[in-house]
Every structure is written in structure tokens, then in C-alpha cells.
Amino acid sequence: MAVTGSDSVLELDQLTVAYFRAPVVRDLTLTVGRGEVVALLGANGAGKTTTLRAISGLLKPASGAVRLDGADLAGVSPTARTRLGLAHVPHDRGIFFGLTVAEHFRLDGLNSQAEMDAAFDHFPALRELRGRKAGLLSGGEQQMLAIARALSRKPKLLMLDEMSLGLAPVIVDRLLPAVRAAATGHGTGVLLVEQHVHLALKIADRGYILSHGELAASGSAGELSKDSALLAASYLGETGGSGLSSGRARRRGQICRSRPSQCGARSVRLRIFPLGLRGSASTMSTVLGHL
């Protein structure tokens, strides 16, 4: 395992990931620093989950490199990656409905009272629920358990895949500060895939937007959250055909790459005036809900 000197906890270097030889993530280069929260954004099918699965070793990249703390992870098993400090909370949360909250922590090797207390400190509401089976928890409580389990391993990198799935924004708003606290307080790097874009950018330092498997834009969370048109266009997979010219975005230093011909091929029908975008009524109402 080659190690390079770097300040980044995670580096993706021109990562390409394919299913059955068809690339769905192409030449993706991104970094997550120590103590940094980075949002990975993009429309359904953009390749976000695939990227996380390649980082955790569940998928083998077709080309490119994944480095954790400077160490190239090529050939390192998912289990070994976990031992090296990588924690991945998938969108199904990876919990066992028949086990209680406390049993989950014991399963993770937290045996002493001090270790249990530290795990509960991430979400104090879980303390009262220690004897309850995970299957009887609410969606938000299950997500607390999933995140607390991941954080109790003191990971170098925490990857959260759509932690908000099935949760009301108000619940997500309660979960995200614990993620920010882990980054700020413990130096954990966080890669956050999240549909509630503005909630994610509220706690993130930086963001990357994937479109059709390629990096469409990147920037500070502040810059990205101000650019509603860019975000909405990205969520339609329309970075090239939305009225946002790639030249304009390049001038801002945000757009890294786009394929107007490919993106522009998507159907566009109804004009959405506040954003200057076009799209079908149902799609646009979904997008606006996320924004």
C-alpha cells in the first residue's frame, strides 16, 4: 500500500467506476480534508452512491485511485478499509431490526460504560432508547443509531449516503449538527451525499456536484448555496442545457467539466421563472422542494 504525503484524509484521483464495463462515474477527482465536511450532490443516478461504494471497496474502480490518509487503497478489502478508519453509512442504514440499541453498540465492541456513554453522547436521545429494538425506532432514531455507531469507531473518514431518506427536513436538521460536531471536534473528514441540498450546504465546508457521472461543479458551500440556478440545473442533470453556460460557470472557477450535448438532450418543457430554468412541472416541484 503506497503512501503519499498529503493533508487530505480522502483523495479520489481520476476515479472511474463501471457496471458491466459501462462507466457511470468518470474521471472523478475530489478531496476531503481533516475536519472538513464535503457535500457530494447531484441528481438521481448521477453516480453518488457508486462513488461511495468504490471508496469503501464494495466496487472495484475501472481506473484511478482512492487514497485514505495518503495510502492507496487498491486491493484493500472493505473490512480492512474499515480498520484503516473508513466508516460508510449506506442509505439502508446498515442496522439490525431485531437487535436493541445497546446490542448494536456491544456488537461494535463497545463494552465499557465509558465507551457506551461516549457513543450515546453523539445523540443523547438514544440513551433513553438503549433497550429498544432498532425495528421499533422511528426513522430519525434509526439514523441516529447508524451515525452514532459509525462515529463510535472514531473514523478518519465518515461517508453518509442520503441519511435523510424518508425523514422530514426538520429531523435532518437535528441530525446534521452532530455530523458537523464530529468533524470540528474530532477532525473526522465527512463526505455527505444528501438530497436536502441547502441543509447539507449549511453544515458543509465545500461541495462537488456530479452530473451524469462527471464532475460538473465544485466550490465552497457558501458559493454553491447562493447559486440556486446551478444547483437546480444540476438536479435536473442539465448543467449544459439549463441556460447556465459552462463558460459563465468556468469564469466563476466552479464548473470543472460539462457535456452540453449530452446534458442538453434531456426533455425540457415548462418555464420556471424564479430560477430562469426549464423543466417539467413535476420535476421542477421536486427540485424546488429539495432546494
> Which residues contact ligand ATP by CB under 6 A?
19, 24, 42, 44-50
CA distance 224 to 239: 14
Residue placing its CB nearer to ligand ATP in the complex, 45 or 243: 45
Residue placing its CB nearer to ligand ATP in the complex, 46 or 231: 46
Residue placing its CB nearer to ligand ATP in the complex, 33 or 47: 47
The cell for 119 is 457513543
Asked whether 244 and 217 are in contact (CB, 8 A), the reply is: no
CB of 228 to ligand ATP, least distance (A): 20
Residue placing its CB nearer to ligand ATP in the complex, 49 or 246: 49
Q: What is the DSSP string of the chain?
A: --B---SEEEEEEEEEEEETTEEEEEEEEEEEETT-EEEEEE-TTSSHHHHHHHHTTSS--SEEEEEETTEE-TT--HHHHHHTTEEEE-TTTT--TTSBHHHHHHHTT--SHHHHHHHHHH-GGGGGGTTSBGGGS-HHHHHHHHHHHHHHT--SEEEEE-TTTT--HHHHHHHHHHHHHHHHHH--EEEEE-S-HHHHHHH-SEEEEEETTEEEEEEEHHHHHH-HHHHHHHHTT-TTTSS--HHHHHHTT------HHHHTTS---EEETTTTEEE-HHHHHHHHHH-
CB of 40 to ligand ATP, least distance (A): 9
CB of 47 to ligand ATP, least distance (A): 4
Residue placing its CB nearer to ligand ATP in the complex, 47 or 207: 47
Amino acid at 99: L
CB of 269 to ligand ATP, least distance (A): 22
CB of 154 to ligand ATP, least distance (A): 27
Residue placing its CB nearer to ligand ATP in the complex, 46 or 249: 46
CA dihedral 163, 34, 29, 216 (to 10 degrees): 50
Residue placing its CB nearer to ligand ATP in the complex, 9 or 210: 210
Residue placing its CB nearer to ligand ATP in the complex, 58 or 84: 58
CB of 195 to ligand ATP, least distance (A): 7
CB of 98 to ligand ATP, least distance (A): 27
CB of 238 to ligand ATP, least distance (A): 15
Asked whether 241 and 194 are in contact (CB, 8 A), the reply is: no
